[in-house]
Structure 1
């Protein structure tokens, strides 16, 4: 299994992975809309020369400012072809992506997802850091991982996703 940065020639395969993983076009369309925006990251899992998974990170903002300027991202979607699910590929993609986020100097990553899954990576409910999602979602499902210890201290804000997330497919 090779995890690497998405290349231009991967676009069709990445779209197929998202379509098949979610059984609809919404996530594939979202990735297409976000691709190319500054500070986005897309990593793919390749097995036997076939793209079998993808993880995407895009910038999010805090509505109210913290005591310092922060560079933060949202994680998602994470997609793995159904035939390859439950084999640890999503975990490898997320681990690789988080390491790249640290290396690139980001301070925190937010995710909206299954707390049982994402807590394995160190994500905690964002409410513990006085942060909330702009969307009406369960408290335990909106989580954050500080990539720099204490980065979110003295913050109290709403996390806002890019407008591309609000487009209905």
Structure 2
């Protein structure tokens, strides 16, 4: 298995981030979303856009955490998460998601939400958001809207997720 180095995005990485998202998804929606979020100071948090690199230093995986709110309380939204097709299944996605969550935890965040594959994200500790009274602002399968709480002893807000404007919901 490949060892993945992870690090925060720098301005020099913007084109590589876009290329990863364009290669990983069928349309440009995710790549365009990242660009729009990068331009939104209410959503973008420096240091929470991360890359996974091959041992040779090639950017191959990407994960983004941006500001959202639940019941008015600040939280983070994970996504998109993308890996170049030639590196999918090699652990790049898991490495960059784990690194992102570690940075979020170390930054004092407590709540991370993801709308994603219900067989993939539980490996990181995500559970259905409905268990905490958290709902998506649109109709989605219950098992696909997930939450990770770092400190279960802290107050956990409930309510509808308020995403950044770029998400269009």
- TM-score, normalized by length of structure 2? 0.90
In the other structure, the counterpart of 2:59 is 51
Unaligned runs of 5+ in 1: none
* Corresponding residue to 2:133 among 130, 133, 139: 130
* Corresponding residue to 1:156 among 155, 158, 163: 158
The whole-number CA distance in structure 2 between the counterparts of 1:151 and 1:35 is: 29
The whole-number CA distance in structure 1 between the counterparts of 2:154 and 2:132 is: 10
SS class of match (1:116)? coil
The whole-number CA distance in structure 1 between the counterparts of 2:155 and 2:23 is: 36
Unaligned runs of 5+ in 2: none
Shift of 1:135: 1.4
1:53 and 1:80 in contact (8 A); partners too: yes
- TM-score, normalized by length of structure 1? 0.90
- Moved beyond 2 Å, runs of 4+: 36-40, 150-153
The whole-number CA distance in structure 2 between the counterparts of 1:84 and 1:45 is: 11
In the other structure, the counterpart of 1:141 is 144
The whole-number CA distance in structure 2 between the counterparts of 1:59 and 1:100 is: 14
**What is the aligned residue count?**
161
The CA RMSD over aligned residues, in Å, is 1.5
